[in-house]
């Protein structure tokens, strides 16, 4: 009986630790792409198209490297939303369309925030 209790406590601690780690990673990732949306919005507002293109391509490449392990932790639909926003943003930058870029930056920001809020290790999400 005691062994089973210690196993249960150990599994509970592992589950809590994994949840905290997952939450911190989601927060870090969310913050990075919220910042990316703001950075790219500023670049497109000042019409720094070549720099914006390089930056958007770098963020998209980094995101695509992150996606395989991220799918284990985060809802697949949320990942697709960020991917689509990054691809649309890159297309807007390549077309040098400020209004499309502004709209897509707002979408990217919201989608990136949604990653953390949906998967945050909070009592509301646990229940």
Residues 110-127 pLDDT 10s: 999 888 766 555 555 555
Cβ partners under 8 Å of residue 121, min gap 6: 19, 20, 22, 23
Question: What is the assigned CATH class of domain 2-126?
Answer: mainly alpha
Over pLDDT 70: what percentage of the chain? 91
- pTM, 2 dp: 0.80
Tokens standing for residue 65: 């490297």
pLDDT tens digits, 35-93 = 999 999 999 999 999 999 999 999 999 999 988 877 777 777 888 899 999 999 999 99
Report pLDDT for 92. Answer: 95
- Map out the domains of the chain as residue ranges: 2-126
């Amino acid at each position: 009986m005691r062994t089973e209790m210690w196993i249960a406590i150990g599994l509970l601690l592992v589950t809590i630790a994994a949840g905290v780690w997952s939450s911190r990673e989601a927060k870090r990732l969310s913050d990075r792409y919220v910042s990316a949306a703001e950075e790219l919005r500023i670049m497109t507002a000042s019409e720094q198209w070549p720099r914006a293109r390089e930056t958007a391509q770098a963020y998209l490449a980094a995101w695509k490297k992150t996606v395989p392990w991220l799918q284990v932790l985060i809802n697949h639909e949320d990942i697709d939303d960020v991917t689509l926003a990054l691809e649309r943003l890159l297309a807007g930058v390549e077309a040098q369309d400020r209004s499309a870029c502004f709209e897509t930056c707002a979408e990217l920001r919201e989608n990136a925030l949604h990653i953390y809020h949906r998967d945050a290790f909070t009592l509301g999400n646990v229940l």
